[in-house]
Amino acid sequence: MSRSTVNDCYCIARLRDMARARLPRGVFDFYDGGAEDEITLNDNCAAFSRVRLLPRVLRNVSQVDLAAQLFGRRMGLPMAIAPTGAVGFGWRGGDIALAQAAAKHDIPYTLSTSATASIEQIADQAPGRLWFQAYILQDKERLNALIGRAAAAGYEALVITVDLPVGGKRERDLLNGLSFPMKLGYRNIGQFVRKPWWSLNMLLQKPPVMPSLQGLASRQADRTRMQGVAGMNYDPAFDLAALRALRDRWPGKLIVKGVVNPLDVSSILDVGVDALVVSNHGGRQLDTGLATLDALPGIVQAVNRRVPVLLDGGIRRGSDVFKALALGASGVLSGRATLFGVLGGGYDGVDRALTILTDELRRTMQLCGTPSLADIDASVLAQSSLNHGNGDLLI
């Protein structure tokens, strides 16, 4: 994929189209899809469209500062790359491309447990601000070893995802018979034939592996039991006591991802975490759950400035980042926006995605009369937007 082709993409939606054009349907559906009827998946994006901006005028916006602070360190944007698994099946070396682009744009990158690059590969080939997202495996010896390796490799933060006690019912994966490692079968051979360049790459080279999960049982969608590949090997017994034990073991920053209910905030903060991520796993777990932007004000209010609150889910525009900040977030995580970039164009695609979001955020800040991130608050939102998700979730 040429740089000129990637540069023809002027929005994240165009990068998504590029990814869809080059991948077999079942592979694209794995990255693009959500749980059940995908109501929450779609509502994560729709929630941003329900928020209306109320710009200030006659402000000097000739210079706009997008730099943010997190954990006492500067970053170029109020953003981090969210953990995304199995990227290498969509673009070989995609995890490294994501991490390298994040380093270029001076933002943190989060390596997933189910990534197709190892903890050490990322640290060696993409030095920057690195976070490791640990799925809570039933194999505790393996989990503890992964956490120890992340600490030894200098990862800044450990991200614990708490909304995956079991896998969501991802019906696109069931329909496509998705498995890791991927296998040819009567359900998908036609899809692979129609995408010869992707298929030849996978056939002529060794298929990607997930180093952190090697040795565990292969994962195959089971239509009879209505069970997808997500959530296999994970521990549904993980609780606050187990989180506290991880806090005691991990020497760096601890981030808990997957919080949407304000009633959970106090007990999680009591463990000594350093940040919360409002997330519903991109709508891939519990369908009809609240959109993350709608959940954000309640979590911000419950946290009461004790730790940073980040937002994950639905970010497709720089104006979405702006709205999350105006509703109290300290920053956002980019999942699918940068994922579509790497799936469509590798490193150049991720770089383009981050460039698009940067340009749109800067433009929104100028048009709203907010030359710095500190100027972005509820005053630039229409009053009706302050309780757009739920009348009880007010700033």
CATH of the domain at 317: 3.20.20.70
Q: Are 134 and 155 in contact (CB under 8 A)?
A: no
Consult the annotation and say whether 335 binds a ligand: yes
Quote the number of domains for the chain: 1
Consult the annotation and say whether 135 binds a ligand: yes
Consult the annotation and say whether 289 binds a ligand: no
What pLDDT shows up at residue 42?
98
What pLDDT shows up at residue 85?
93
What pLDDT shows up at residue 109?
98
Q: Which residue shows structure tokens 């989990």?
A: 143
Q: Is residue 87 part of a domain?
A: yes
What pLDDT shows up at residue 4?
64
Q: Is residue 395 part of a domain?
A: no
Q: Is residue 129 part of a domain?
A: yes
Consult the annotation and say whether 161 binds a ligand: yes
Whether cis (ω within 30° of 0) applies to the bond prior to 196 is no
Q: Name the DSSP letter for residue 309.
A: E
Helix/strand/coil for 203? helix
Q: Is residue 387 part of a domain?
A: no
Query: 230-241: b or e for each residue (b if 16 or more CB lie within 10 Å)?
Result: bbbbbbeebeee
- Of all residues in the chain, what percent are helix, strand and coil, respectively (each to 5)? 45, 15, 40
Q: Is residue 393 part of a domain?
A: no
Per DSSP bridges, beta strands 157-161 and 253-257 are: parallel
| Rounded CA separation 78/108 (Å) | 10
What pLDDT shows up at residue 2?
56
Q: Is residue 389 part of a domain?
A: no
What pLDDT shows up at residue 222?
53
Q: Is residue 289 part of a domain?
A: yes
Q: Which domain holds residue 212?
A: 3-382
DSSP for 368-386, please give it.
TT--BGGG-SGGGB-GGGG
| Rounded CA separation 198/192 (Å) | 8
Q: How confident is the chain (395 residues) per 10-residue block, as mean pLDDT?
A: 79 96 92 97 98 97 97 97 95 97 98 96 96 93 95 98 92 81 60 72 80 73 53 84 96 98 98 98 96 98 98 98 98 98 97 98 98 97 68 37
Q: For the whole model, what pTM was predicted?
A: 0.91
Residues annotated as part of the active site: 281
Consult the annotation and say whether 316 binds a ligand: yes
Q: Is residue 392 part of a domain?
A: no
What pLDDT shows up at residue 391?
39
Q: Are 6 and 348 in contact (CB under 8 A)?
A: yes
